Chains A and B, each alone.
Chain A
Amino acid sequence: MKAPERYYDFQKDISGCGVFGVIHKQRGLIPGDMPIRAMACMHDRGNGLGGGFAAYGIYPELADKYAFHLMCDTQAALDSAEQVIKHYFTVHEYHPIPTRKVVTIKNPPIVTRYFLSIKKDRPEEVRELGEQDYVVGAVMHINHKVPGAFVFSSGKNMGAFKGVGFPEDIADFFRLEEYSAYIWTGHNRFPTNTPGWWGGAHPFTLLDWSIVHNGEISSYGINRRYLCEHNYLCTLMTDTEVVAYELDLLIRKHGLSKEMACKVFAPPFWDEIARMPKQEREAYTALRMVYGQALLNGPFAILVADSTGLFGLNDRIKLRPLVVAEKDDMVFMSSEESSIREVQAELDRVWMPKAGEPVIVHLEA
C-alpha cells in the first residue's frame, strides 16, 4: 500500500470521477446489483485507480456494534492494529471480509472486519471522552500510528468497501452483490493530484459518515490544519478525507444542521450575503467568519450518507455535474442521468440542483 514509484509522472487521460447514490426513504433494501450496474455505466469516468461503495443497513444482526473495516499491508500490521483494537474495545466478532479473486484486482491488502463495543473498563488516558470521540480517537490512533494498517470504515450497521480498480471490479472483489442496503453510494476514481492506492479510494468514512466526491478540494491544506487542531489527523493522502472529518466536527460535535454545514462548505458569495434580509445576512456572515477554515474551495460534487439519510452538494459555481432523480420512495443522485436510467428506466422527476444548494433526503421510517 505504498504510492507507486514516480506516480507523478504517469500519463493522464481526460476524464473526471463518477459518483452515484441511492436511498430508499422507507428503508426498503436495495440489492448491491443496483449501485454496481449504475457505476459500471459510468466506467469511463474513472481509470481503474480507485473504486468503492458505502452501504447502510448491511449488518442488522450486529446493528449496535461498531463495524470496523481494516486494510493491512501485512499480517504483522494487522496484529499490531488488533492489539490497539483490543486495548480500546470488546471484540464481539471478527473475520476476514469475504472476497473473491478477481483478475483485475492486483495485490489487495488483507481486509478484515471487527464488530466492537466500548470496553467497560476503559483505558485511563481516554476515560473521560464521550463514546463517539473515543471511537474517533481509536480510528485516528490506528491510522496514524500503526504502520501499514488503516481503518476504512467505523460506523454502525454500515460499511465501506474500496480499493484500487474499477468500481465494478472492486464490487466483484468484495462480493457486494451479496449485500442489500437502504442507502448506497458508489465512486469511480480518476486520481489527478494524489496517488491511486487502496486507502486513497473513496468513500472516506468516520463513524456513520461516508462521502464520495468528484472534483478536488483546493483548500485541502487549510482544511487539514484546521482539523488537526481538533484532533482529526489526515493519513490517507486524498483531499476528500477532510470532508469526512469536517462532517463529524461540524454536525456531530458542533451541532450544526446538515443545511448549515453545507453552507460552510459552499457558502453564498459576499455580494449575495449583502442582499439578504438582516437576520439571514448576520447568520451567513457569522458562519463564514467562524468556519472560514472549513470552507471547501475548488470543484466538487459530493454525496454524503449517514445513518439518517443521504445528501448531495455542488461547489458554489458548480464545476462538477450532479443530477438528482426521484422514483416513488427512492431518490437517486449521480454524475450522469444515464447511470440512473440504467437501473431505473422510469423516473418521476429529474433535475440538476443549483450550485451550493444541498439536496438533503432523510430516511422516513
Chain B
Amino acid sequence: MAKTVTLDASGIYYRQLNEQIREAVAAGATNIVLKNVNGQRYIAGAMTGNVTFEVQGVPGQDMCSFMRGPKVRVKANAQDGVGNTMDDGTIIIEGLAGDVVGYAMRGGKIFIKGDVGYRVGIHMKAYMEKLPTIVIGGKAGDFLGEYMAGGILLLLGMYSDKPSEPIAGRSLGTGMHGGVIYVRGEVPKEQIGPGLTAQPVDAADKAAIAGIVKEYAKELQLDAKEILAADFVKIKPFSHRPYGNLYVPA
C-alpha cells in the first residue's frame, strides 16, 4: 500500500523542503505530492528507492540530479539541469524543459512532452544494463546529444510551440562516440554535427523506438500510433574516437 504524504512547498526554502521530503521518506512515505512548488532546487536529488513524486508547479534547477530509482512526475514546465547525472528512475515532464536536461545521465528515463532547451543529453553514457533514455515530444535547441557516449535520445518534434524552427538546433550529436539519436521525420543536414549523417532505421531500431514510444505515450496520455505513423532516422557515431587524431595526428 502506497503511503502518500502531501507537502505544501509554498514559501519554503529549498533546503527545508528537501529535508521535509527526506524525513517523510525515512518515515515510510512512498508517494510524495508536492504542492505549490516554485523554483526550489534539487528536488528528489540523489534520492534512491521505490518512491513516486508528483510535483505541482515549476521546480528549480537540477531536479532529480544524481537520482537513483524514484519516479517523478512534473505537472508543469521544468527549468534547467533536470536529471543531471541521474542513475536510475523515471522523470515525466508534462510541459517543456530548459537547458542541459540529462547531462551526463547514466541510467533511467526522462520523458518530456514539449520543447527542450540547449545541450540536452550531452555526455550521456551507457554501461552493461544501464541504458539512459530521453524522449523529447517537441523540438530541441543546439548541441542535442553533444559528446554522447551511450544511451538513446528520441526526438519527436510534434508537441512544439515553435512551428518555424527546425526540429533540432545546430551541432546535433557533435563529437558523439556512442549511443544513438532517433529523430521522427527529417533533420536538415546543416543542423547535424561534423562527420555525422542521418541514416534510415532498420528493424531493430524500429522495435526499440516502438517500445520506448509505447511507454512514453502511456505516461503522457498521447497516441502512440500517431507518433509511430512516420519515418524515423538515426544518427550514430561514425567512430568510437571521433577526435582521436585531433591533437596527435595518426
Asked if A pairs with B, the answer is: yes
A18 to chain B, nearest CB (A): 10
B39 CB contact (under 8 Å) in A42, A275, A349, A355: A42
A317 CB contact (under 8 Å) in B41, B77, B142: B142
A355 CB contact (under 8 Å) in B57, B80, B118: B118
- Could you tell me how many residues of chain A have their Cβ less than 8 Å away from some Cβ of chain B? 22
- Check B38 for interface membership: any CB of A closer than 8 A: yes
Name which of A24-32, A85-93, A303-311, A334-342 contacts chain B: A334-342
**Contact assessment for A342 and B39 in the assembled complex, using a CB-CB cutoff below 8 Å:** yes
Complex CA–CA separation, A338 to B170 (angstroms): 28
Complex CA–CA separation, A318 to B61 (angstroms): 17
In the bound complex, residues from chain B placing their C-beta under 8 Å from that of A354 are 141, 165, 169
- Check A133 for interface membership: any CB of B closer than 8 A: no
**Contact assessment for A44 and B41 in the assembled complex, using a CB-CB cutoff below 8 Å:** yes
In the bound complex, residues from chain B placing their C-beta under 8 Å from that of A129 are none
Interface residues on B, range: 20 to 34
- Check A328 for interface membership: any CB of B closer than 8 A: no
**Contact assessment for A352 and B117 in the assembled complex, using a CB-CB cutoff below 8 Å:** yes
A324 to chain B, nearest CB (A): 11
In the bound complex, residues from chain B placing their C-beta under 8 Å from that of A351 are 96, 115, 161-162
- Check A48 for interface membership: any CB of B closer than 8 A: no
In the bound complex, residues from chain A placing their C-beta under 8 Å from that of B143 are 317
- Check A41 for interface membership: any CB of B closer than 8 A: yes
**Contact assessment for B117 and A275 in the assembled complex, using a CB-CB cutoff below 8 Å:** no
- Check B88 for interface membership: any CB of A closer than 8 A: no
Complex CA–CA separation, A351 to B14 (angstroms): 25
Complex CA–CA separation, A350 to B98 (angstroms): 11
**Contact assessment for A318 and B99 in the assembled complex, using a CB-CB cutoff below 8 Å:** yes
Complex CA–CA separation, A271 to B188 (angstroms): 14
Complex CA–CA separation, A317 to B122 (angstroms): 14
Complex CA–CA separation, A110 to B24 (angstroms): 51
B217 to chain A, nearest CB (A): 24
Interface positions of A from 294 to 353, Cβ below 8 Å from B: 317-318, 321, 323, 336-339, 341-342, 349-352
A321 CB contact (under 8 Å) in B14, B41, B77, B98: B98
Complex CA–CA separation, A318 to B120 (angstroms): 12
Known: A338-B59, A354-B169, A355-B142. 14 other contacts (CB 8 A): A41-B38, A318-B141, A321-B80, A321-B98, A336-B60, A337-B79, A338-B57, A341-B38, A342-B39, A351-B115, A352-B117, A354-B165, A355-B118, A355-B169
Residues of chain B having any CB pair with chain A under 8 Å: 14, 38-39, 41, 57-61, 77, 79-80, 96, 98-99, 115, 117-118, 141-143, 161-162, 165, 169-170, 190
